[in-house]
Structure 1
Amino acid sequence: MSDMLETVRLAAVQAAPVHLDREATVEKACSLILEAGKQGAKVVGFPEGFIPAHPSWYTVRPATGRVSLGLSRRLFQNAVVIPSESTDRLGQACQQAGLTAVVGMCEKRPDTTGTMFNTQLFIGPDGAILGKHQKLVPTVGERLVHTGGWGDTLKAYKAPFGNVSGLVCAENANPLAVFALMNMYPLVHVAAWPSFVSPALKLEDLITAVSRGLAYSMGCFVINATGVLDQATIDAYEPSAEERPFLEQCRGRGYASIIGPTGQLLTEPLGDAEGIVYADVDLNDVMIPKLINDFAGHYNRPDVFSVHVNDSAPPMLSRSAVAGTPAALEAESPVELPLTPLSLAR
């Protein structure tokens, strides 16, 4: 019997979070997951930093001013620990909907009071965490609240129909990150985007330029999930009279779409509304583009080009003890450490 791939329905979310409210936004994400499941979707992608919000206030507010500092503190207070009750609820929704979800969120480490990551969480249709991707390099104002991830989360994860990968915003244009994922042969890639970037760059143009080439070079389907700027978020930014017109121009807009493996647009835009766009795709359609240009295989020259990925995360702190002391003797005793769902055996 031939190795036929499935025909599946893909879903791209275009929505605003409940700004800086983790519990309410998790509830909204669960509702969107269940809605996508009812419509027959097998994978759904969410915008960048959907839970609890993306720190876009730095586009229009001074970094150390009262508004930015207050919003940043609320961002940490409402950031998501992985795993936690919040991720459990998302997993339950995925299990009920019978789909794989890639959810953008602001992540913090357990029992800490600082350091956050711009993360995509991958959850399978059984409700289990498949893994996560942490954005490698925060962009512009994100650097004030996010640190970069490491190579241990630069990977694709197995869904029932095949591998799914993801990257966040502008790193979808990073050719080395894309090449690393390309070598894992994802069938579906989730590109997570915010609601706006800056007055100097139109998000719609950025998504179009990046994602169509991304789909072609990777030889896979691309889900573009985008945020939406709502009035509550604009009010939270307390914009000046000079800043408000730009935000009002962005209000309500979204650019969710699904792109095919030859760069073709498969969906109609939702326009200025929240919702989900869908596309029914035959995953076998990735094969002919790959037969022509497999940049992770026959259409490359490993004898000319060499790419190295460090797939480990560096320790923040290491300890040593003087030989012969009780501490050193204790350290020499083998200790069984439980592996978290995201740990890598070495």
Structure 2
Amino acid sequence: MSSLVKVAAVHAAPVFLDRTATTEKAISILREAANAGAELIAFPETYIPAFPVWAALWAPIDNHDLFTLIAEQSVALHGPEIAAIRREARALGVIVSMGISESSTASVGAIWNSNVLIGSDGEILNHHRKLVPTFYEKLIWAAGDGAGLKVSSTPVGRIGNLICGENTNPLARYALIAQAEQIHISSWPPMWPTRRPSGGGNFNNVAANRIRASAHSFEAKAYGIVTAGYMDSAMRDFLVARDPSVVEVIDRTQRAASFFVDPTGETVGEMLQDQEGIAYAEFDLTRCIEPKQFHDVVGYYNRFDIFDLTVNRKRLKPVTFLDIADSSSVPELDEVSPQDDALSRSYNGRNLDA
């Protein structure tokens, strides 16, 4: 494993609430980043099919149709969209961190804010569901579990991920630090409205994300990739056309930024905020070692006789069926169906197995 790694933070808008078109766009972005030499490519929070910013703008009684739409456009872990991304990762030989709104095989209305880490061989390395939806996200997503609190060993380093506000959870962050994390990916929405412009000013999302990313990297002595969504004109126009009264909130809410931090918490590489694109940086993983001499919070700089942390990484399920009949010939619900598999091969107009 080389100590030098080129990474990419995708600062891009989805094709709003269209999982098929957004998957096609993601594949195009993967090819562009891979051609630029990126070995690890990180997408924003729930890039497929979109971040539900409307939950901040209108009361839930006005959003039933939008919840139905995002539930219908959410993606299954073993559905055609993730299958297409996996095939592209394998074809390009890159590692992909993809934010999704994940559907459930147990319910047509339960969805999760999730992240999938895909290896350069196309295999799923980790599947994480956001532990607690933040603020108005509670109106959209169910709470996740600890099954995805894992750091994955890859040819480009040991990679961990937390989604948005989870990066404020010290115990979740510590759980990743304690697995020798070297690269921490944090994924974010395109904007985070908390007040009307007349209500005393908005939450400074860029400053807050910089503080959180730098704090984690400083404590973990790891590099950080901060990848945030982007609101394009199509997304803005969709929301404003629905209710013109929100135009001031949308236009005067600070846009999120994508950037990188080093093991000391300083910013490195490129930064994107007000334009769509891909930001790049180069990480030298040997720089994760020396700072451990100063503060190794999972090593000598702790008191394990005083503090004790237990993490439940069991995947939670709503029901367990114990069938009498032999069901060994019956496919699992989350396997790709022949129809879905055929659909996944049609993305971008070519055979993805080629």
TM-score, normalised with respect to structure 2: 0.86
Contact 1:48 1:105 in 2 (8 A): yes
1:118-161 per-position Cα deviation (integer Å, ceiling 9, x unaligned): 00110011112112111000011211121111111111122212
Matches within 5 A, 1:212-251: 212-238=214-240, 240-250=243-253
The residue that corresponds to 2:277 in the other structure is 275
Q: Which runs of 4+ in 1 moved over 6 A?
A: 333-342
Contact residue 254 and residue 273 of structure 1 kept, 8 A: no
- The residue that corresponds to 1:172 in the other structure is 167
SS class of match (2:289): helix
Gap change, CA 1:24 and 1:97, over 3 Å in 2: same
Contact 1:172 1:191 in 2 (8 A): yes
Within 1, Cα distance between the matches of 2:239 and 2:283? 40
Amino acid at match of 2:246: E
Structure 1 residues 131-142: aligned runs within 5 Å: 131-142=126-137
1:247 alignment partner, SS class: helix
Aligned-partner Cα distance in 1 for 2:280–2:237: 31
Say if 2:92 is the partner of 1:89: no
Deviation readout 1:21-70 (Å, 9 max, x if unpaired): 001101111111111111111111111110000111111111111xx211
- Whether the 8 Å CA contact 2:163–2:187 is kept in 1: the answer is yes
Question: How far apart are residue 82 of structure 1 and its match?
Answer: 0.6
Q: Which runs of 5+ in 2 are unaligned?
A: 196-201, 336-354
Give distance in 2, aligned partners of 1:81 and 1:228.
23
**1:205 equivalent in structure 2:** 207
Matched, 1:194 2:189: yes
Deviates more, 1:164-173 or 1:5-14: 5-14
Query: CA 1:34–1:334 in 2, change beyond 3 Å: closer, same or farther?
Result: closer
Offset, 1:173: 1.4
SS in 2 for 1:76: helix
Q: Call closer, same or farther: CA 1:59–1:165 in 2, change over 3 Å.
A: same
Matches within 5 A, 1:96-115: 96-110=91-105, 112-115=107-110
Give the residue type in structure 1 aligned to 2:105: P
Per the alignment, residue 15 of structure 1 pairs with: 12
Relative distance call for 1:257 and 1:150 in structure 2 (3 A) is same
Report the CA distance shift for 1:135/1:258 in structure 2 as closer, same or farther (over 3 A).
same
State the one-letter code of the partner of 1:163. R
Identity of aligned residues (%): 31
Normalised TM-score (structure 1): 0.88
- Kept in 2, the 8 Å contact 1:254–1:274? The answer is no
Alpha-carbon contact 1:196-1:202 (below 8 Å) kept? no
Gaps of 5+ in 1: 321-326
27, 31, 53: which is aligned to 2:28? 31
Q: CA deviation at 1:314?
A: 3.3
- Farther-moved stretch of structure 1 (230-239 vs 87-96): 230-239
Q: Over the residues paired in the alignment, what is the CA RMSD in angstroms?
A: 2.4
Name the SS for the 1:149 alignment partner: coil
268-277 vs 48-57, which moves further = 268-277
Give the distance between the partners of 1:22 and 1:10, measured in 2 at CA. Answer: 25
Q: Give the Cα–Cα distance (whole angstroms) in 2 for the partners of residues 315 and 88 of structure 1.
A: 23
Match of 1:148 among 143, 149, 152: 143
- Secondary structure of the 2:153 match is strand
1:285 pairs with 2:287:
yes
Whole-angstrom CA distance in 2 between matches of 1:5 and 1:295: 26
Distance in 2, matches of 1:228 and 1:259, equals: 20
Report deviation, 1:243. 2.1
* Cα offset, 1:335, TM superposition: 7.0
